[in-house]
Every structure is written in structure tokens, then in C-alpha cells.
Structure 1
Amino acid sequence: MENNKRFLAVLLTIALSGVLSACGNSSEESNSEPTSNSSAQEEDIETTEKEPDGSQEIEEEKPDGSSNTTQSHDKDNSVEASNDVDAIDKNESHESSKDEYLKKLNKMEEADRNSEAKTTTAEMVEQEEERYRTWDDELNKINGVLEEQLKNDQMDQLREEQRKWIQQRDETAKNSSLKYKGGSMEQLEYVAALASLTRERCYSLVAKYMK
């Protein structure tokens, strides 16, 4: 009997140890599952955090590239503008020579001759006034060129000569218009004389003073 009791006790001990072992394995498995899930979530979080950083870096590169392109265009525009200024300076310098300026005056005079003739007195007066303004503007341009070419004492002498010439021009035009005093042609003759005398003065200054 005692041997049977001992045998049963051994069997119970073996059975209990098996049950405890099985319970232990199940608890370990249950504990390991959350661990794997948490690590997967951490990976997802890391992946999510990296994506915005990557997109920000790409967006920051685009403004840099466009800025460089703008600077390149600005440089090209500044070079083109500089070339245009140089071309203008060369043309003005070339036009300031005596021969070239005389050619210009000849073209202006030819344009006067080829202009359409007006029919009414009012239209003819308006046409002559426009012709006078054109030649007077050109006379001022010629004076500007001569200021650059002549010495100070020569330019002072020319200014005094110009003041006298203007007074003489106006008197001559007035006397010429008196032939039609009181008539509709008086104003026309006065303005036409101013235009013609100013045109002659342009030729005179270029021929006498311009280099």
C-alpha cells in the first residue's frame, strides 16, 4: 500500500509539473505578442516621421534652384542693357561728326520739301509752326554737341553769338511778315521765316564749329 501511495504521489507530481509548464508557455506567448505589435507601431511612427522630412528637403531645393535661375537671368539682362547703352553711345558719337550731321540736316530738309502741301491758311500756319519747332529742337541738340567739343572760352563766345542771332532772326521774320500786314498771310510769313532762318543756322553752326 505504501508503495502504491508513493507511486501515485510521483504521478501527481509529474502531472502538476506538466500543467505548470503548459501555463508558463501560454503566458510567455501572450506577453510576446504585444511586444511585436509595439515594435511594428514604432516602425510605422518612424516611417511617418521621415516622410515629411524628406518632402521638406525636396521643397527647399526648388526655391534654391529657381533663385539661381533668376540671378542668371538678371546677369543676362544687365549684360544686354550694357550692350544697348554702348551701342547708343557709339551712335551718338558717330552722329556728332560734321559730315554725318550734315547728312542728317539734308534729310530733314528733304522731308520738308516732300511734305504734303496744305490748302487753307490755318493749316499752312500749323505746318510751318511744326517745321519751326523741329528745326529749333535740332538747333538745341547741335548746341549740346558743341558744348562737349568746344573749349570753355569758345563756348562762351558762341553763346553770346547765339543771343545776338536770335534777336536778329526774330527781327528779320517780323520785317518779312510786314509785307502782308493786316492780311491772313502775315502770321504764315512770320512763322515760315522763323523756320527757314533756324534751319540755316543749324547748317551754319555744324559747318563752322562741329568737328
Structure 2
Amino acid sequence: MKSYQKSLVGLLLVAILAACGNTSEESQNAHTSTTDPSQNISNSNDNESLTETEKDIATTPKSMKEVYQQKLANRSKEVDKIRKTYSNDSSTLALKKVEGERYDLWDELLNEVYGVLKEQLSKEEMNQLRDEQRNWITYRDDTAKEASLKYQGGTQEHLEYVVVLADLTEERCYELVEDFME
């Protein structure tokens, strides 16, 4: 594990323990005794005996890829909550609102992932990804437009456009994390 990741884990541990009401001395002792959270799980025969804080620490991601895989999962849960909020309203207006929010959430995460990749990739790799991303944006927009033309002039036209934008943006988030993130 890189030293900055160990420091991050240590700071996270201190913050979690502080939030749980432990004194700074207890937090410091916990910080010095736990340098590799993965050891907590491998050395424990009974994971059920771990406190919630210990479970959180034991499952702390070790790489940015793992962090963003978790963010992808969390984003999917957010989208599910939004859909449940509007589950009793199947009007076109409600569906447009849900899909618009869904697109915004995935687009926000896509931009965040892209920003992290700018820091991780070499200059050559980033230049290549930038070109690929520009082509992907054109593909996404063209595909959404083409799909919406089935409903040209109807109430479903804009809905279909946003649904396709959201679908493709979600897929792209997963692709970038899986294929490029370290």
C-alpha cells in the first residue's frame, strides 16, 4: 500500500473513532496499532465480533479503483431511491424528471472519474483518453438523438433522448473505472 494511502487510512480511522466519542489518546492508540486494515479481516476468525467501526476500517478500499467501484455502487443506489420516489407516478413529466436526475448524477460522476484519471495517467495516455472521450461524447449525443427520432414530435421524444444519455453515461463511468483507473 502506498504511504499516502496508509496515511489516509490512519486519518480515516482517527476521524471515525473521534466521531464515535473516543478520546484522542484512544484514537492515537488505535491509529498506531492498525496500519493495514486488511490485516483486521485476515487475523480475525469471527468477523461478526467486529464493531461497525472495525468493519468499516477492515473494508476500507486500498486503491482509487476500489474507491470508485464503491462510488459506482453507491450511485446506482441513489438512482434506485430516485426511481422509488416517483414509482407511483408514471406520467411523462415524472419520468423525464427521474431520467434527468439520473443523467445528472451519472454525468457528475463521469466528470469526477475523468478528473481523477487526469492525475493518474501519463500525459500520453491522457491525450489518448481525451481524444477517445471527445469521440465518445459525439457518439453518445448522436445515439441519443437517433433513438429519440422514433418519437419525433411526441411527448416521448425528449424522454427517450435523456434515457439514452443516462444509459450511455452510466456505462461510460463503469468503463473508465474498470479500464483506466489504478
| TM-score normalised per structure 2 | 0.62
Q: Which of 141, 154, 162 matches 2:125?
A: 154
Deviations 1:153-208 (A, max 9, x none): 11111111100000000011111111212211111010111011100000000000
Q: Does the 8 A contact of 1:177 with 1:186 survive in 2?
A: yes
Alignment of 1:21-36 (within 5 A): none
Q: Where does residue 129 of structure 1 map in the other structure?
A: 100
- What is the aligned length? 125
* Bigger Cα Rg: 1
Alignment of 1:32-71 (within 5 A): none
Q: Which amino acid aligns with 1:111?
A: E
Alignment of 1:103-182 (within 5 A): 103-114=70-81, 115-116=83-84, 117=87, 118-182=89-153
Q: Distance in 2 between matches of 1:130 and 1:100?
A: 23
Q: Distance in 2 between matches of 1:105 and 1:145?
A: 14
Could you tell me the percent identity over the aligned residues? 46
Q: Which amino acid aligns with 2:77?
A: E
Q: Where does residue 155 of structure 2 map in the other structure?
A: 184
Q: Which segments of 5 or more consecutive residues in structure 2 lack a partner in the other structure?
A: 1-7, 16-60
Structure 1 residue ranges, 4+ long, deviating more than 3 angstroms after superposition: none
Deviations 1:36-77 (A, max 9, x none): xxxxxxxxxxxxxxxxxxxxxxxxxxxxxxxxxxxxxxxxxx
Q: Distance in 1 between matches of 2:125 and 2:80?
A: 34
Secondary structure, in 3 states, of the residue corresponding to 1:183? coil
| TM-score normalised per structure 1 | 0.54
Q: Which segments of 5 or more consecutive residues in structure 1 lack a partner in the other structure?
A: 1-82
